[in-house]
Structure 1
Amino acid sequence: MNESSPNPLSVAIVVPTYNEAETLPVLIEKVREQNIEGLGFVVVDDGSPDGTGDIADAIADEFNGVFIVLHREGKQGLGSAYRAGFQAALDAGAERIFEMDADLSHPPEVLAGLIGELDNADVAVASRYTQGGGVDPDWSWGRRQISYWGNVGIRMILGLKVKDATAGFKGFRRKALETIGIDRLRLSGFGFQAEVAYRCQQAGLRIVEHPYVFMDRTAGKSKMTFGIVVEAFFHLSWLRIRR
């Protein structure tokens, strides 16, 4: 862990990892190339057997700024990782907190636009489904339909206005996370992102969408399964019913 920094932590990037030894160093370097003032990282590793956590520690030792590595025992879920990472970023004093996947599907070049959106919004969503956004051109027609209509279904279940309900690339002002309450978030898997969107909308936060093109991971193995999606629909439906 390296929390010594000559500048206050302005922008914290929270990155959950599990077996991302190939891609994590590349992501960190590409984000650093964006020359973001007051940049820091929070890496949350769930005991990756490929040594991702050790790689993160090595990067932290050389990083000139805030670089926090949280080591956890085994896979505890995406939502749990983000909750821990968000809290660590807030505790470190971050004013703007972003979430990104470690697999390079979220282009670091989009960060500047998202940061700019937070000048006038509480939450900035990198969106595949707003005008100008899109998905990997190599996706098959069937995969595009599943992604699009799955997103539409989740929006309908929760009554969401945001077009990309399952976006995993977004940023928050500090007060946005404090308003929705990290400890109130319950879902741990695929449905976590939709739950966050729902909580933000219910809290009356100003949410904007910034277009980007989602690209497939360049290395490693996807953690997504059909069972995870079904589970998310069930839990999100229950979230709306309870409300």
Structure 2
Amino acid sequence: MQHTRRLLELMARLRHPQEGCPWDLRQDFASVAPYTLEEAYEVADAIAREDFDDLRLELGDLLLQVVFHAQMAQEAGLFDFEDVAAGICDKLLRRHPHVFAGAVFNTDAERSAAWEAAKAAERAERAPQGGVLAGVALALPALQRAQKLQQRAARVGFDWPDLAPVLDKLDEELAEVRDALAQGDRDAVADELGDLLFVMANLARHLKVDAEDALRRGNAKFERRFAYIEDALRDAGRQAEDCTLAELDALWDAAKAQGL
């Protein structure tokens, strides 16, 4: 705990009105928020790369973000770091009655239902008039937020019963994208693409696939194959700009054939 205490003291010094860092003193919750998101993604990136030394460092950077926000909140008389820690401790106790309160769940489904009930009670306490979709964070990546919105709606029965109608809806939305393109209406194209992506997220949910993870895999695959193209062209003393699309496609197919 001594290092936690030291970290809190360092952050307080950085925010000291007379002796602190000018940059840190200029910040507020809104200006720090993008850094908080960035650090969270860097934690996820270190995990994906299985670089655990880097993960240790990135977790420290993320912890600094928590401390930064808590320090600003303390200065404003809102809450402090101890309140943050107390809040998450209380939440862990509420959401794990089978560990801390003697409750018995016989199946994963029972545990999951109790977890969701606890979360729903917490949302109702924070926002008594909130609807089913209340509290799904706006700052989430759009695909992830789409799946969470769909999950919430599904809990009250607003969901397709199986995969077939989802696939039909996918065809319908793709046709509407084509229609908007044919009309040359850029706003309509953007709207229809949004609908198409939303249905894609729904398809992933029905297939029990995380849409964000699926897209990350697609991104990584594209990077690997494009790197193969660049390496092959470099070995041949050529550049991508000097090649025809057919030549680039042939190299892409070669990358696929090698399992990249």
TM-score with structure 2 length normalisation? 0.23
Greater fraction helix? 2
